[in-house]
A and B are shown apart, each in its own frame.
Chain A
């Protein structure tokens, strides 16, 4: 299937109807920038896909490339449509028309049926356009600068789907189902194991209990001895005895406490009543009484001294007044033989003697007060010392009384223990008896617990048989669950192995196909010779789940990083051309190149022309749009034009109405054959 023609009207930059009828061999479209060379390539893609995929930017300022599919310039086109027509080797045509108002006249399935065959990749029409219409924009972005994963995907898509690829999805579904079943089996197994382990714990406990059974008759005797027999069943007696254990333990605790406290009280009593302590108390009491008596006596003496002192002080005051009077009388002397003080008739002698006598009396009165003061001070000091002695003796006695109170309090607390624990206080004053009672109680308690354990163990023996039987059943159930789990795990392993085998097989097929296109890639690479030193290029595939296709030149060098921009584009072009030629599912045999020589020097542009020429030699239709007229000349001269597959050249430019149009069409005639040979043959003949 080849491109026959494309006709556009009101499409992108073409306002008026333009029809380009492609040469069956090749078509070179030339023209200045912006006249619509690329639009003609876009038109082919749009007719097939209904979109133009080269625009990486989906939208800008709320507009998308869809808003610019149809003419938006001045004037109104007569119509808005694109028609791409194809013709097969038998001359049968197939055309697709997409109009702005009516959409496409063919469905994607109809287009796919005409342009594709066999095992097609996903989105076959998109893949078809991507690998048939090689644009300047894509040479870089879709070739060498692709990530290794994207490159692998591109090549795998170009090679078409692997037959039976749906088996991968089926195998994955099998794995998922097997894993789900395995999960259920695992849960069942775990549950069975859990139940079994519970049973085993019970069995172990029953075994332990049974092992503790010991001498049952001795246990019964102990039980009878400690707990009086009743008419109840043994189990009831055991339960009753088991229930009585806390009370017995409490009573034992009380006895122990009472015995301990009894010993403590007795010890304190012994200490308090010891002869030394009794003597000390008597001595302290006597000392206190003596001190008090002494103090009372001295306090009475002090009172007496005080009274004496007060008398002497009064006498002293009288003496002082009398002295003033006497001295005054003496100074006055007798007055008319009369005493000036008492008016009594006195002689001078009598008066002098009277004065002397008064003075002596005054001295006597005044002399007693000092002695009385001294006596009072001594009495007070003695009384104070006696008071201190009383205080000290009282403190000693108070301590003795406190000791006694403490003893009484402890004795009361000891009695309270009996009340608190419900014990008979008959032995309260006999701690040894209490201790003996506690020992007996402990002995009974131990014996009773042992007897109870032994009797309960004897009952566990009966339970052991049923537990053992139950554990056997649980074990069989767990074994069955384990078998089921093993089968499920084996199924998962098999499913995974199956899926891996499917993936490996599909991978092998893809790898083998890649291996088969490797020589093609290398041939085109060698023909384009992107780099003077590295004449060949290799690829390698890595990865299992994510596949990587890496390109290598020289000594494992990545051309992406060692090539210049132009060299990368040339190498990328070789890659894309090899992908283009390697599509077994494409019925469309046209290679459309939109401006493929940007950033490529003249030497490599010439080599590209030679490569396209080699494509022509195997009959592939080439459509190439270039800006450079000289390059267009070269392409037209170098690519093969035959009567059956002629070449054609179009020049696009703005016409006299200022709209893009075909302004020149030139059929490229086949060249004359055998020119040189004929000349040489003629020369030789001559």
Chain B
């Protein structure tokens, strides 16, 4: 799984324009929506991420400085995303600690990005609420018929019909 490519897939599905900026290697993925601009930086290792994120951020911001200056309020909503596929459990907290650094950009920094789902989760912030609970009306009668197989059909019909409880009880107690 290529993090850069998958990032573009996820961001585009969330309504963002994405494109690579090849001024860095690997390329930085730029993205922009009506309210947000950002850059996805991919690193070979967690150590590399920790050592070079600031340089990488500075380079891409400097490159896009004129545009950001012209962006007005949008320039407040600049995100830098620093990702690496390395598991690096010992460095995970240090990497994620970068997210509490609000200098210049809002940052998202994660290790262990190995699957498309990981990419989707890490970029979840940028998209709309995905989960749309489908809470359609349930057919209670049909479900009850499926569950109450031990109840005679005529009793079920009476119960689900308009008969009063007294009538249903009488049917239940009548000789078969």
Residues of A at under 8 Å CB distance from B?
118-119, 159-160, 162-165, 167, 170-171, 173-174, 176-178, 181, 487-488, 490-491, 494-495, 497-498, 501-502, 504-506, 508-509, 512-513, 516-517, 519-520, 522-524, 526-527, 532, 581-582, 584, 602-603, 606-607, 610, 613-615, 617-618, 634, 637-642, 670-680
Q: Are B144 and A505 in contact, with the CB atoms below 8 A? A: yes
| Contact between A520 and B129, CB atoms less than 8 A apart | yes
Count residues on chain B whose CB falls below 8 Å from chain A CBs. 65
The interface residues of chain A lying within 8 Å CB-to-CB of B156 are 498
In the bound assembly, the distance between CA atoms of A508 and B175 in angstroms comes to 33
The residue that A501 contacts in the complex, of B67, B73, B144, with Cβ under 8 A, is B144
Task: Find out whether the CB atom of B165 lies under 8 angstroms from the CB atom of A671.
Answer: no
Chain B 1-45 against A: per-residue CB contact (8 Å), 1 yes, 0 no?
000000000000011010101000000001010111100000000
Whether B124 pairs with A523 at a CB distance below 8 angstroms is yes
Which single residue of chain B is at the shortest CB-CB distance from A617?
Answer: B128
Instruction: Say whether B127 contacts A614, CB under 8 Å.
Output: yes
A603, B99: Cβ atoms closer than 8 Å: yes
Summed over the interface, the residue pairs from A and B with CB atoms below 8 Å come to a total of 191
Q: Which residues of B contact A584 (CB under 8 A)?
A: 133, 135-136
How far apart sit A618 and B160, CA to CA, in the bound complex (Å)? Answer: 40
Q: Is B93 an interface residue (CB 8 A)?
A: yes
Q: Is A527's CB under 8 angstroms from B125's CB? A: yes
Contact B124 A527 (CB under 8 A): yes
Contacts of B166 in A (CB 8 A): 177
Q: Which residues in B have their C-beta under 8 angstroms from that of A675?
A: 32, 37, 67-68, 70-71, 74
With A487-B175, A523-B124 as known contacts, state yes or no: A513 contacts B144, CB within 8 Å.
no
B72 touches A505 (CB 8 A): no
A-chain residues with CB within 8 Å of residue B124 when the two chains form the complex: 523, 526-527
Of A118, A495, A602, the residue contacting B169 (CB under 8 A) is A495
Please encode chain B, from 139 to 176, with 1 for each CB lying within 8 Å of some chain A CB and 0 for all others: 11101100110111001100110000110110011110
A637 touching B76 by the CB < 8 A rule?
Answer: yes
Contact B150 A671 (CB under 8 A): no
A–B pairs, 24, beta carbons within 8 Å: A118-B137, A164-B140, A164-B141, A164-B144, A167-B144, A494-B150, A498-B155, A508-B147, A516-B133, A516-B134, A517-B133, A519-B130, A523-B124, A526-B124, A584-B133, A603-B100, A614-B128, A672-B72, A672-B74, A675-B37, A676-B67, A677-B19, A678-B67, A679-B64
In contact, A674 and B135 (Cβ under 8 angstroms): no
A interface footprint on B75-103 (CB within 8 Å = 1, 0 otherwise): 01100000000000000010010011010
Chain B residues proximal to chain A, CB less than 8 Å: 14-15, 17, 19, 21, 30, 32, 34-37, 64, 66-68, 70-74, 76-77, 93, 96, 99-100, 102, 106, 121, 124-125, 127-141, 143-144, 147-148, 150-152, 155-156, 159-160, 165-166, 168-169, 172-175
Q: How far is the CA of A163 from the CA of B160 in the complex (A)?
A: 12
Complex Cα spacing A353 to B161, Å = 175
Whether the pair A638, B127 counts as a contact (CB closer than 8 A) is no
A637 contacts B35, CB within 8 Å? Answer: yes
Extra pairs beyond A505-B147, A680-B64 (14, CB < 8 Å): A162-B140, A163-B139, A167-B159, A170-B168, A177-B169, A509-B143, A517-B133, A520-B133, A523-B129, A527-B125, A606-B106, A641-B35, A671-B35, A680-B67
Q: Inside 8 A of B175's CB, which chain A residues have their CB?
A: 487
Closest 7 CB pairs of A and B: A164-B140, A617-B128, A679-B67, A173-B165, A520-B131, A177-B169, A501-B148
B155: nearest chain-A partner, CB-CB:
A494
